[in-house]
Amino acid sequence: MTKNLLRGFGGALAVSALALSALPAVAESFRLGLITPPPHVWTQAAEAFGEELAERSGGAHSLQVFPAQQLGNEAEMLQQLQSGALDMAFMTVAEVSNRAPSFGAFYAPFLADDLGHAARILRSDVAQGMLDELPEQIGVVGLGYGMAGLRQIVSRGEVDEAADLAGLKIRITPFTPILDFYNALDTAPTPMPLPDVYDALANGQVDAIDMDAELIWGLRYYEHADTIIESNHMMFPMVALVSGRVWALLSDEDKDLIAELMGAAVDGTIDVYVAEEPGWLEQIQGTDRTYVQVGPEFFGDVPAEWDAIWSVRSDMLDDLRAVADATRE
Ligand code: BEZ
């Protein structure tokens, strides 16, 4: 196929192909990678996007979804997107923030009061506008946000106050904003990709994990814990990405179709978490584990310390805090 041949030559030909703004629509088989396991909300949304793409393109396009890090971790997938070796990904904003630090502002502690508030922040013009910077900043096209639930803490020991977490090895998603949060909390943050978390918690390699309700419940992390702290301390956005090189080779018609369907697929995950998270939390609360609900005061000065660090690193922190204030109910 024309576009795949162009892609195969890479280098100079691929660069000159970038100048072609609107090739005619050609049948394409796209590949989309993500780190979440097959039953996860994000993976289900990716599969649904593939089905919709095949249907709406009259069978011309197809999508192969590679879940559970089959194509590598997020850093590796982002490199593949940049080179054009991978077409698409649903990726944590965390990984994007490693390359485009302004996105780190989404992890400001207690930016969102609840999931409905997180949804309004992600759907704001300010958040949507940040996607416009991605092609120039890191060579990928951002087509919309999704999310997972707010972050909670699952601990193998009893926790009555934040001081009980001091020195504990707490599993975190490997990225800087959350590392800074747990450093400020005087813990020993332990970056670890999602697929390694279950065994690490079960065998005591870590004392606690930073996680969302879907996975605490669905992957039964709570079974290896004494205390679940419902803290809702951070939101966890996801972004739909297309390789900038691949995007440049698409017809305008295909760009419009993919932008519409991929954007809707990730946006739909927001509605799933808003609807489902209370149920997951209720089920976790119904187990025989100690369940504590805490607010920002539990973390003392940590949110302010985090803001002091990130107001320098991200030029979007003030803007997103302003959006949060304006959309608070
Ligand atoms: C995590 O690393 O905790 C995570 C990654 C993707 C989706 C949900 C959770």
Q: What is the CATH number of the domain that holds 229?
A: 3.40.190.170
Residues 50 and 133 in one domain: yes
Q: Which of 212, 219, 277 to mutate to test the pocket of ligand 1 (most atoms within 8 A of CB)?
A: 212
CA of 76 to the centre of ligand 1 (A): 16
Give CA separation, 236 vs 175, 244, 249, in Å: 12, 24, 31
Residues 264 and 118 in one domain: yes
Say how many domains are in the chain.
2
Q: How far apart are the first and last CA of the chain?
A: 52
Is residue 321 situated within a structural domain? no
Q: The domain containing residue 51 runs over which residues?
A: 3-147+237-274
* Torsion, CA 130, CA 131, CA 136, CA 141, rounded to 10: 170
Asked whether the whole model's pTM tops 0.75, one would answer yes
pLDDT of 172: 98
- Torsion sign, CA atoms 236, 184, 176, 195: negative
Is residue 10 situated within a structural domain? yes
Q: Which of 74, 98, 215 to mutate to test the pocket of ligand 1 (most atoms within 8 A of CB)?
A: 215
Residues facing residue 91 across a β-bridge: 239
Query: How does strand 208-212 pair with strand 151-155?
Result: antiparallel
The answer for residues whose C-beta is within 8 angstroms of residue 116's C-beta and 6 or more apart is 274, 329
Say how far apart CA 217 and CA 279 lie, in whole Å: 10
Is residue 87 situated within a structural domain? yes
Residues 251 and 284 in one domain: no
Is residue 322 situated within a structural domain? no
Residues 225 and 181 in one domain: yes
Residues 8 and 86 in one domain: yes
CA of 47 to the centre of ligand 1 (A): 18
Residue in 71, 90, 49 with CA at minimum distance from that of residue 240 = 90
CA of 129 to the centre of ligand 1 (A): 24
Q: What backbone torsions phi and psi does residue 87 show, to the nearest 5 degrees?
A: -80, -45
Say how far apart CA 146 and CA 93 lie, in whole Å: 9
The answer for residues whose C-beta is within 8 angstroms of residue 59's C-beta and 6 or more apart is none
Tokens of 192: 């670890």
Residue 59 region by backbone torsions, left for phi larger than 0, else alpha for psi between -120 and 50, else beta? left
Residues 29 and 168 in one domain: no
Residues 57 and 137 in one domain: yes
Contact 143, 211 (CB under 8 A): no
Rg (CA), the chain: 20
Give the residue whose CA is nearest to atom 4 of ligand 1: 194
Q: What residues flank ligand 1, with Cβ below 6 Å? A: 35-36, 92, 148, 173, 194, 211-212, 215
The answer for residues whose C-beta is within 8 angstroms of residue 154's C-beta and 6 or more apart is 201, 208, 209, 211, 216, 221, 222, 225, 227, 228, 229
Contact 150, 296 (CB under 8 A): no
Residues 59 and 19 in one domain: yes
pLDDT of 23: 47
Residues 199 and 284 in one domain: yes
Say how far apart CA 240 and CA 18 lie, in whole Å: 21
Neighbours of 268 (CB within 10 A): 16
CA of 192 to the centre of ligand 1 (A): 10
Residue in 326, 313, 321 with CA at minimum distance from that of residue 103 = 313
Is residue 216 situated within a structural domain? yes
Residues 140 and 160 in one domain: no
Residues 118 and 267 in one domain: yes
Is residue 328 situated within a structural domain? no
Is residue 324 situated within a structural domain? no
Say how far apart CA 297 and CA 288 lie, in whole Å: 26
Residues facing residue 229 across a β-bridge: 153, 292
pLDDT of 26: 64
Which positions of the chain have pLDDT values less than 70? 1-26
Is residue 326 situated within a structural domain? no
Domain boundary among 224, 259, 274: 274
Domain boundary among 255, 274, 293: 274
Residues 260 and 296 in one domain: no
Contact 154, 208 (CB under 8 A): yes
**Count of positions (residues) in the chain:** 329
